[in-house]
Structure 1
Amino acid sequence: MSRTVYVNGDYLPEEEAKVSVFDRGFLMADGVYEVTSVLNGKLIDFDGHCKRLARSLTELEMTNPHSNAEWLAIHRELVARNGIDEGMVYLQVTRGNPGDRDFAYPPADTAPTVVLFTQAKPGLADSPAAKTGWRVISVPDIRWHRRDIKTVQLLYPSMAKMAAKKAGVDDAWLVEDGFVTEGTSNNAYIVKGNKIITRALSSDILHGITRAAVLRFAKEAQMEVEERNFTIDEAQKADEAFITSASAFVMPVVEIDGAAVGTGAVGRVATRMREIYLDEMRKAAV
């Protein structure tokens, strides 16, 4: 059955959804996006995604086309129309269609292009991978240096994911100047004893919405959190490792570049943090 998608104020069958070939999102990757998970028909950490969207738009000198209340109404309408119980809502805002290709930004009054669609993901919260863990490889991080902006420039993350797929593993961790930055579409962590270690926020990594929530819950659970750089070698020697993202929540990592992490099985910290996160997010979902 065809999905209903949202394009510039209209709810349309996906087959009828169109944007201009001159749209700067298509020609220049000049746009930002967010992905909000849906559990039990409700949106997870929606306010956090709205705040990051607003920040990304501001960093690119783009106007936010909707208020948080308007964004919420659009999300809820799409979830309802498409009958999403578990899944995701993808949102993208580009600088729009200036009428012709030009490197310079178009006039400030150029209307942005706004697109949203849903993806049904039954079993999202009960993913079998959470019981077995992910295996990852490391690849060089050669992306641009404003990774804190959630742009649609996703070619290199796609290439890194394909490198992981060809290697027969689940994902890749990106490495720059000898240190792990993040995963291809997630934040990376290691665990030593009762301490969770993850890279500090900067323009080097995405300011993960799930990251912020998990670190808050970890501190509330009396776990120590240390925000600093770490190497692949340190990660391989850690007790545990895991990643966080809006779609994977908290996902254990059991192998890095062929070396088992800890016992090579899913650890108690990652398991507990996933349980806490899902429980708290379900309570706060809208």
Structure 2
Amino acid sequence: MTDHVTTHQAEEDARNEDILIYVNGRILPKAQAVVSVYDSGFMLGDGVWEGLRLYNGRWSFVDEHIDRLFEAAKAIDLDIGMDRAGVIAALEETRRANGMETDAHARLMVTRGVKTRPFQHPGLSRQGPTMAIIMEHSRPKIPRPIRLATVPHLRGLPMTQDPKLNSHSKLNCILACIAAEKAGADEALMLDVHGFVNTTNACNFFIVRKGEVWTSTGDYCMNGITRAKVIQLCRDNDIPVFEKNFSLVETYSADEAFLTGTFGAQTPVGMIDGRVIGTGEMGPMTERIRGLYKQLVGA
């Protein structure tokens, strides 16, 4: 397949060559924004992160994103080294340094920091955490509905790697994405441990059937902030919405399917495992939810 699309595809923006990046309290040009090869994040994927969108001078749903960051840090026993106000101040400092007002994406990353020796034990990370913020000018540009392929890879389970952790250890999702690409698709559709439809390797997943919006139970997928906003928007606007188990049989015969995520908001799905979903284009329910979400972000 030659026209490969990703769910994080953005318009080219030459300004991103000159962005400034936050690293441990310093604002640095891209070429100088580096971390040690001894850093826990590089060495072991030992860290957590958040992605945030800037609209009209405001970070959308910033409180929920910061809540999720601190929740994840606590879960992995990582001291971020600053409070909520400090993290938001670092975001704002980076935004101002780059002169960004809207259509920007931030990736805020915190690792356990530089290790004294190249081994696993967290006690070897003695120099305090590493925090980095990459901020880019970013307008999503997804030229057609996404194509998905079901893969054998599962999201982590609570007793292995809980999918509710936005951790730096993304290898299982990367392997899922590779499997989908090998099958000629853009992204992977991942099932849960019981074989029900769960999530994709990078986004949460919804279908529309007979005027109803369905998504997974939430037990085995990432706790997506955009996912939660879509569920609430449906409830507030009398759109029947269900968090439930459903199978590939029900998915293939859906009227519409779409993905949710901080970057792309709501991205239509046109094909799954070679089956065209609905008309193969964005459906009316997806379009309606997109409109409601834009109003919410604008508010």
Question: Is 1:28 the equivalent of 2:38?
Answer: no
Deviation digits for residues 102-126 of structure 1 (CA, Å, limit 9, x no counterpart): 322217864111111112213x3xx
Aligned-pair RMSD on alpha carbons?
Answer: 1.9
Q: Counterpart of 1:106 in 2: which secondary structure?
A: helix
Is residue 2:202 matched to residue 1:185?
yes
TM-score by length of 2: 0.86
- Amino acid in the other structure paired with 2:259: I
What are the Cα deviations for residues 48-74 of structure 1, in whole angstroms up to 9, with x where unaligned?
Answer: 110110111111011233222222222
3-state DSSP of counterpart to 2:268: strand
What's 2:136 paired with? 119
For 1:78 and 1:35, the matched residues in 2 are separated by 14
Following superposition, the deviation at residue 184 of structure 1 comes to 1.1
For residues 14 and 199 of structure 1, the distance between their equivalents in structure 2, rounded to whole angstroms, comes to 39
Which aligned runs of 4 or more in structure 1 are off by greater than 6 angstroms?
none
User: Which residue is equivalent to 2:237?
Assistant: 221
1:89-108, Cα deviation, whole Å (9 max, x unpaired) = 00111111131123222178
**Aligned residues of 1:44 and 1:282 also touching (Cα < 8 A):** no
Q: Distance in 2 between matches of 1:144 and 1:128?
A: 28
3-state secondary structure, aligned to 2:113: coil
Given that residues 116 and 124 in structure 2 are in contact (C-alpha distance below 8 angstroms), is that contact kept between their aligned partners in structure 1?
A: no
CA distance in 2, matches of 1:245, 1:232: 21
Say whether 1:201 aligns with 2:201. no
Secondary structure of 1:49's counterpart equals: helix
d(CA) in 2 for partners of 1:133 and 1:66? Answer: 41
- Which segment is superposed worse, 134-143 or 251-260? 134-143
- The residue correspondences of 1:1-286 to structure 2 (distance < 5 A) are 1-84=17-100, 85-106=102-123, 110-122=127-139, 124=140, 127=141, 129=143, 132-145=144-157, 146-176=162-192, 177-202=194-219, 204-283=220-299
Contact 1:41 1:86 in 2 (8 A): no
Q: Describe the SS at the equivalent of 1:32.
A: strand
For structure 1, the residue ranges without an aligned partner over 5 or more in a row are none
Higher mean C-alpha deviation, range 239-248 or range 173-182: 173-182
AA of the residue aligned to 2:106: V
- Equivalences, count: 277
* Fraction of identical pairs, as percent: 30
Secondary structure of the equivalent of 1:136? Answer: strand
Q: 1:128 to 1:16 in 2, by over 3 A?
A: closer
The 3-state SS of whatever aligns with 2:122 is coil
Amino acid corresponding to residue 230 of structure 2 in structure 1? V
| TM-score of the pair, normalised by structure 1 | 0.90
The Cα shift of 1:277 comes to: 0.8
Contact 1:252 1:266 (8 Å CA) reproduced:
yes
